[in-house]
A and B are shown apart, each in its own frame.
Chain A
Amino acid sequence: MATVKDFRNDIRPNWCPGCGDFSVQASIQRALAAMGKEPHEVAIISGIGCSGRISGYINTYGFHGVHGRSLPTAQGVKLANRNLTVIASGGDGDGFGIGLNHFMHAVRRNMDITYIVMDNQIYGLTKGQHSPTSAHGFKAKTTPEGNIENALVPTQIALAAGIGFLGQGFSSDVNQLVSLIQQGIQYKGFALINVFSPCVTYNKINTYDWYREHVYNLDNVPDYDPTDRAAAMKMVIETHGLCTGLIYKDESRVAYEDQVPGYAANPLVDEDLHLDAKVFEEAIREFA
């Protein structure tokens, strides 16, 4: 059985020392190993950003595509091989800026993939512009006088869009994150795990300490019911989106690929591509 070590490769991440993304990487590796996955059974599809590099730092199949498009790419991979564990991953700019549209539609479509966002409330790779999750008033390279736009709250958007699985983690709480990732992967449908993953280089406001002071850990709320959508929305609003843990889970939803009429039960990649002559003849007859 594969261990955490099997999910490591010898590539040294080019992340800054202390970057929150290291914990996300480690959490994914731990979660996969704990679930008994083998490296070749997993594909990690990422976008562009510091965080997007993650697909190269974990020893699984990996695809590092274009900015903002990890979700449609990941959905394509899943369609070709429904046996794969498909993880999409990237930053807040990638997922909620350029890629927000895909996010909303991935929620609607509900394919069985797990989306892990490293939310640092800034654009890291392009060196410190504000991001869609930067707070109002936040000063960054492109908001020298303070951000005049309001921040998106990813968890709120996800709930509003009708997501079936929603978790939120924090790079300093690896145990919780590992558990969330495992649950997300187990969930048969689209799962978002938004992770507060501090950028130690460009975001001097939302630091580890800042998050430590502000996050509200649902694991410590004994009567919180993650199957109650209205309660989840209320919680997200009341905590300004800063609650961590399992926020919402709906077991009744059926994944997209389990609803496609006639869709092969085996992975398409293993199917014979030759068209059945009878099917062809029948199709041709409509044009005769």
Chain B
Amino acid sequence: MLDQLSWKVGGQQGEGVESTGETFAIALNRQGYYVYSFRHFSSRIKGGHSNDKVRVSLQQFRAAADYTDVLLAFDQESIDLNVGEVRQGGIVIADAKFNPTAPDHVRLFTVPLTKLAEEAGSAIMKNMVSLGASACVLGLPIDIFKEVVEERFSRKGQKIVDQNMLAIQSGFNYIKELGGQDPEFALKPADGTRRLFMMGNDAISLGAMAAGARVMAAYPITPASDVMEYLIKKFPKVGGVVVQTEDEIAAMTMTIGAAYGGARALTATSGPGLSLMMEAIGLSGMTETPVVIVDTQRGGPSTGLPTKQEQSDMLAALFGTHGEIPKIVLNPATPEECFYMMGDAFNLAEQYQCPVIVMTDLQLSLSKQTTEPLKLESVRIDRGDLADKNAVESAAAGEFKRYELTDSGISPRVFPGTKGGLHHVTGVEHMETGRPNETAPNRKKMMEKRMRKLHGVEFPFSVERTGDEQPDILLVGVGSNIGAIGEAMGRLKADGLKVAHVQVRALLPFPTNLLQNAIQDAKQVVVVENNATGQLRNLMSFFNVHHDRISNLLKYDGTPFLPVEIYRYCKELV
């Protein structure tokens, strides 16, 4: 019996690969398993190989497995490309339609998926047949799919629901007759706990809504578009508005306008869009307008690898704009963190009156995974230093000092429309009133005021250290690499090594002291990141985090780290 399973479905894009994988994943998530799915796709819409790799287990993993137990193939290409990772004795279920062949190290079940689907009512149900076949191999009752099928198809009538269930049954029966029900592949039962199943982008969207965001302006780009698409569906319920702008420059400046106007506003983009926003991010810093920018990193530079994993916008996010502004960069690692960090992002943006960039990566943004309950009551709304409206309205006429020099550098805001709060805001260097002033003493004062806001600040959540004291190896990671790192750690520990992990959750203000303290007792430090130049590692040097034995494990081929890759690298080090 298995306590964890790695299942994969492959086929041509547009062939139902995604819906097959999703139905399988949702059904198992509802049984109480922890499910993690990673979708491999290309930027073609139809055609081109795509696959969905789903890990099912009794404990939480946040990475795809190194191997595959069961491969479901809709075409020969899916076998050719993926069979290499199918473990010895693993199972391949393939459509009889293309006369599949597979190497000797696997067991091949040729199932007339399309034919059985046609018999059940329509060829498009071949994914249902294949789910039935998978269920049989894994010793799962087909009932587990019933709820999902009903949700998907009940709109189309009971007949369609029945036909789909019939298709599942026929796939199940077919494998059973072939003798494919093997106790070795049977999954241990789960406890039935209901948890959520979502991707980082879903959690970002929910988090934004929970945090009170009511304006979003964005331009479509993979893998960020889901956020806009989700909020367009939901905002009508909360009175908000999403504008699909003409480009990212408009998205960013519209977000700034809305934030200046007093709304909580966000935009979401990926690398190329972030580049276009840079000038306006400078404006946000200079005018002290709080905005939240979600950057879902993908493979760069240029259009690069638009549907692939990378973490290579870190330097751009930290240093991208012109001039010098206070800025906050947050780096969630899981959907739960995406949700709560959007709350933090809006609060921090308004507390410090500066842009906040929330960085995810494609793997985190798009991987659907089992997610613990999200608690609305844990999302606080703190709008920062707002001038008292009544006091402003009744104050004697005079100019409102929007950029009043304070010890903290943070000056109370009033929103346009407030009587008595009239002031001017400008990207030109200005005085306390907002009036332009380019004199040297004023420049110095104002620059210092802005910089004071985040000077010396290190958010305690920026760095989380887990694992052994005085470890032989300490792994440092950011974003979705948390999963593969955690798993590699487990294996290293099993080999008798002392290991620890430091997850970086905020890159700006850079947590120099926290990070230094977290790594210094380690014998060796390995910084694990998805880029070619070691951006996180370089940031550590730049911000004066030191260690004598520090190395970089990099991956920039567009695929996320597999736990085994981190494990092997560390084994060679010690």
Contact = CB atoms under 8 A, between A and B. Distances in A.
Contacts of A275: 209-210, 212, 238, 376, 379
Given A75-B254, A81-B415, A287-B196, A63 B376 contact: no
Interface in A223-276: 257, 260-264, 267-269, 271, 273-276
> Range of interface residues on chain B?
35 or more
B106 interface: no
A69 B258 contact: no
Given A72-B249, A76-B260, A287 B371 contact: yes
Contacts of A89: none
Which range holds the interface residue count of chain A? 35 or more
Contact of B425 (A39, A64, A109): A64
Of B206, B237, B265, B279, which is in contact with the most chain A CB atoms at under 10 Å from its CB? B237
Interface stretch (B138-146, B239-247, B486-494, B547-555): B239-247
A56 B402 CA distance: 14
B262 A75 contact: no
B416 A61 contact: yes
Contacts of B421: 40, 61
B420 interface: yes
Contacts of A102: 246, 249-250
B417 interface: yes
B215 A268 contact: yes
Nearest to B264: A273
A283 B206 contact: yes
A15 to B, nearest CB: 13
Nearest to A40: B419
Interface string A100-115: 0110110001000000
A268 B263 contact: yes
A77 interface: yes
Task: Name which of A40, A63, A288 has the most chain B CB atoms within 10 A of its CB.
Answer: A63
A269 B350 CA distance: 14
Contact of B427 (A65, A105, A262): A65
Contacts of B58: none
A28 to B, nearest CB: 15
A60 interface: yes
Contact of B261 (A41, A81, A101, A284): A81
Given A76-B259, A84-B417, A263 B239 contact: yes
Nearest to B205: A283
Interface of A: 11, 38-41, 43, 45, 48, 55-56, 59-66, 69, 71-81, 83-84, 101-102, 104-105, 109, 257, 260-264, 267-269, 271, 273-277, 279-280, 283-284, 287-288
Given A104-B246, A277-B376, 4 more contacts: A66-B283, A79-B243, A80-B215, A105-B245
9 contacts: A55-B426, A56-B435, A59-B422, A73-B254, A77-B261, A263-B239, A268-B215, A268-B263, A269-B417
Q: Which 4 pairs, one residue from A and one from B, show the smallest C-beta to C-beta distance? A: A76-B257, A80-B261, A262-B236, A273-B212
